[in-house]
Chains A and B, each alone.
Chain A
Amino acid sequence: MATNSIRVDASTSFVRGFAYFFITLLTILCLIPFLLMLGTSFTSESAVREFGFNIWPKDFDILAYKLVFENPDMVIGSYIVTILMTVFGTIIGLFLVSMAGYALQRPDFAFRNQISFYIYFTTLFSGGLVPFYLLIVRILRLKNNYLAVFLPSLMSPWLIILMKNFTKSIPFAITESAKIDGASDFRIFLNIILPMSKPALATVGLFLALTYWNEWYNSMLFLEANMDYRPLQLFLYNVVNKVEYIKNSAASSNIPPMDVPLETMKMATAIVATGPIVLVYPFIQKYFIKGITIGAVKG
C-alpha cells in the first residue's frame, strides 16, 4: 500500500522495520511445529529417546516411513476413502448449496424468507449431541457406515447464507429475460447462474473440500476403530492415540517390541496424512483469501 512518492521519515522506517521483524517472527512460530514433525519423522527412534524431538534430524533415518509403507493397504485404503468422500461430498454439496442459495435470493420466490429462517434457526437451537447420535445410530441405523460421516457434512447454514449473498449480486433481470425466452428455472440455474458464480463456487467448494478432508469428529463418533479402511484423519487419530497399530506393523517386520519406533512412526504417519494438503495448499489458498474478503464485505 505504502507508495514510494511519500517521503520515508524516521517513524515510518521504524514501524516498517518492526513490521518486518514481527511478521518474520510470527511466520517462524507458525512454521516451527510443522518442521518439528517433519524433522522427527526422519530421525532414528534412538536419537529421539536420547535427545528428544528436533527440527533438524540428529540421526537421519527413514525406518518410520519404511514401516508406514510396509503394509500400505491401510494407508492407501484410508486415502481412497477420504479422497472419494472429499470429491463426491464437494460436488454434491456444492450443487445443493448453490441451488438453494440461488433460489433463496430470488425475489419471485414466495417462501424465501420462511425457508431462510428455517435454515438459520438450526444454528440458534439444536437438539444437542445425544439426540443426534441416537438419530444416526438407532433411527437411521448408520453406525459403522460411511454415510454417517458423508451426509452430515454436505452443507451448513453458513455456506448456504454465503452462497445466497454471492448470487444476490447477479442481476435478477438476467433470470427474468431467460424466463421470457422460455428457459425453466433449473436450466437458468444450470446454464446461466452456475457459470456466473465461479468465484463463489470455488470458495464454497474449497470450504466443503477442507471439511471433508479434515473430517474426524463424525468418523470418531460413528465408525469403529477396527474398521478396515477408516477416513484418513480417524486413521491418524488412532495411530497417534492407540499404539496397537504401530506395534502390529513393527511385529510384522520382526522388530522387537522394545525397539518399536513409536514416536517417529506417529510423525511419519502424520506427514503422510497431511502431506497432500500442505503441497496443494499454496495453490488454492488465494481462492480462500478471495472468498474470505468477498464474504467480509458484508457479514
Chain B
Amino acid sequence: MTATVAEREVGRARLRKEDAHLIRGRTRWTENVTVPGMLHLAILRSPHAHARITRVDVSAALRSPNVVAAFTGADLADLQGVLACAWPVTEDMVAPTYTPLATTEVRHVGEPVAVVVARDRASAVDALEAIEVDYEPLPVVLDMEQALADGAPLVHAEAGTNKCYTWVFDSAQAGTGGDVAQAAAGAEVTLKRRYVQQRLVPAFMEPRSVLVDPGQDDITIWSATQIPHILRFLLSATTGVPEHKIRVIAPDVGGGFGGKLAATPEEWIAFAVARKIDRPVKYTESRWETMVSAHHGRDVIQDLTLYARRDGTVTGLEVKLTANMGAYLGLVTPGVPLLGAFMYNAIYKIPAYRFECTGVFTNTTKTDAYRGAGRPEATYAIERIMDDLAAELGMDPVEVRRRNWIAHEEFPYTTVAGLVYDSGNYEAATEKAMQLFGYEQLRAEQRARRESGDPVQLGIGVSTYTEMCGIAPSRMLGALNYGAGGWEAARVRVLPTGKVEVVTGTSPHGQGHVTAWSQIVADQLGVPFEDVEVLHGDTRTSPKGLDTYGSRSLAVGGVALAMACGKVRDKARLVAAHLLECSPDDVEFADGAFRVRGTPTAAKTLAEIATAVFTAHDLPEGMEPNLDSDAVFDPDAFSFPHGTHLCAVEVDTETGQVTIRNYACVDDVGTVINPLIVEGQVHGGVAQGIGQALYEEAVYDSDGNLLTGSLADYTVPSAADLPSFTTDRTETPATTNPLGVKGVGEAGTIAATPAVVNAVVDALRPYGVDDVPMPCTPERVWQALQQAKEAAA
C-alpha cells in the first residue's frame, strides 16, 4: 500500500508459510488430536434407501470386547438436537425434520442409525456388526422428474409432496429488464436446450473427523470443518448448550471444496454421545462414509430457452431448473441454485430474463455447496448455449460472445438480474487468452483435420465467465432469506517487540491465508513478512467470524484485516508524532515507517512505537496503552472475477477418448496478493472443473445404492490425466473494496467445465453431434457419435 514498490509484499510470489509443516507431515488433523480418556465412535448406517425402522437392538454390541456404550436414535432423542437448514428460500419451502441419528425412518443409504463407543476404533467398528436392526423397506424414488409426478413414492410422507420449493426471478417483475414473453415473440432464433449437471462428490483429501471433549464445564469440539464459528452457533442453537460453553477448533483441515461447509450428523452425534457418557469421543469416517454421508454437489436438470436475432444479439433467456435436494436439507442446500440465479446472464447484455428453480426430494444423499455452488452450473449452461448459438448462426463462438458482452467502458453495469458489476475488461482477457492459446493456428489445424477425415478430431472450447463471489453483503443475503450475514472480522495486536499477531475470522483449509494475510499486514504496517503470526480456526482465540467459503476470505476477511491495520496505523501515527515532537498532521507512513513530512530521516518504526506503547512511560495524554484494533467488514456488493478459458481437445472418434491438448486461461481476479497462491487456485480449480467435464459422476443403482462408493469407482482425475495449464492474468481492480481484490477460490472450477465440454462438442459438430452429457467419458462420446450416425441415416 504505502511501502515503496521494491519493498511491497503484496504481489510477491511468496512460498507459503503453511507448507513446511504440511510437507513434513507435522500437521494436526483432527484425527491426530488425542485427549486423555478419549473413546472412539463408530456409526451404523442404513443399507436401505428408504425404510421404516421397526427395531434397533444394541445389546449384543454392548457385550463386544472393549465396548463402553452403544446408542440408538431413541436413546439420544433428548440430546442430539436437529440439523438445521439455514436457508429457507421461500416462505412455503418444505423443510423436513432432520435428526442426526434416524429414529423411525431412513431415507438414504448411509443415514446413521446407531452408534458404538469403544476404547479403540477397531473394536467400535467390530461391534457394529452385532447391532440388530429390523427394517421394513419403503418405495424408493431417485429420479427427480419421477419424484415430481403424481403418485410418486414420498420421501417425506408427512410433507405430502416431494417438491421442496419453487423460486422465481423475473426481470420484468423485478424491474431489472424486459419480459421474456416479448423476447420470445420477437425472436429470430430460438434455442431450447436441456443440460444435465451430474451429481458430484466433493472429494476432499482429509476425511471428515470430529473430537468432542466435554471437559469440566465447557465443551471443546475439534472438527475438520470450514466453518468453526457457524458450527458453534448452530450447536448451541439446536442443542440448547449455551454458546459461551462451546469452543470449536478447526485445526489443520485438508480441503473442503464446500463439502465441509456443513453441519453434519456426525458432529451432532459425537456432541450428543460425549455429553451423554461424559467422556471425550472421536469419530473419523472411512472414505465410503464420506461418499454416502458427506453432502454431494450439483445434480440439476437445466432447461434453457435462448432468444436471439440472426446477427447474434441475444434478446432473452429463460431458465428452468430442477434441483435435487437429496433426502434432507443441509445447511444451505436449497439456496445453492439461487447463487446461480443471478449468473445465467453472465457477462452478456441480455435484455429479458426469467429464472425458475424447483427443489426436489429424492432418496439420495443430500446435496449442498460444492466449489462454485450454483455458479458453475449457471456458467456451464450459458456458455454451452452461446456456443450452440454460434453454431446455429455459423459464427465463431468468440464473435458471438463479443457481440453480447458488456464492453469495458460500460462498467459499472447493472445486469438484467439486478446486480451491479463494478469492473471488468472482457475484451482484454479474451484477447490475451487467444494469443496464449494460439487460437487461429488451432482453428487452422482443426480445419485441416476435418478436411483429411482424421479419426482424431480437434475441438476448441471457449468459456468467457464471470461469477459473483466475496460472499457477501449481509443485506443481500437477508433479502434472499439466508439465515446469517456475510461480514468478516479481523483483529490486529502489535506486541511489545513490534511483532504482530493477527486474528482472522476466516478459516483456511488449504487456501494459504497465513501467507497472504502476512503479506497484507507487512505492507500495511511496515513490518517484515516473517514478523506476522496469523491465528485462526479456534473460537476461543478468534471469537468472531463467518468462516471460509464462496471465495469470500480475501474479498471480505482480507479487507477487514486491512481496515484493522489502518486503525493501528492511525494510532501509531499519534504516538510517532508525540515521540517526534511534531503535529500528527506532519507524520506520514512511508517506506515502512512513520516519518516527518519533509524530514524523512526523522522517523519511528512500528517496533519503536510498540515499545513506547508497551512501557507507556510517555504517551499522548489520555491514550490507552495498546496498539490493537478490531474491524468488521460488511461489503456493499459482491465481487465479480472474470476471465476467458480456452481448451483444445483431441477426440478419438473411434474409441471416444478425449485428451486435452492445450488449456490456456486468463483470469481477472482483481488485485493479486500472492501470484503463486492465485496460480495454485487456478490450477486446482481447473483440474476440478475438468473432473466434472470428463471424469466424475456419482451413480446410484435402482435401489438407491451408491455404486460409486469409493475413489476406485468415483474417478477423480490425477496429474497423469491433466495437461500443463497455460495461465495468465489481467488485473482490473475491484472498485467495491479498498484492496481491489475479487476472489479466486472458485473461478477455475466455474470456467473450466464449459470450456472442456464445448471443445468436445466442437470437435464432433461435423458429425452431427451437438451434445455430449457429462462426464464426457469415452463411451458417452462414442454413443453420441453412434446416435448422430443413426439420426443421419
Physical interaction between A and B:
no
Residues of B that sit less than 8 Å from A by CB = none
- Chain A interfacial positions (CB closer than 8 Å to B): none
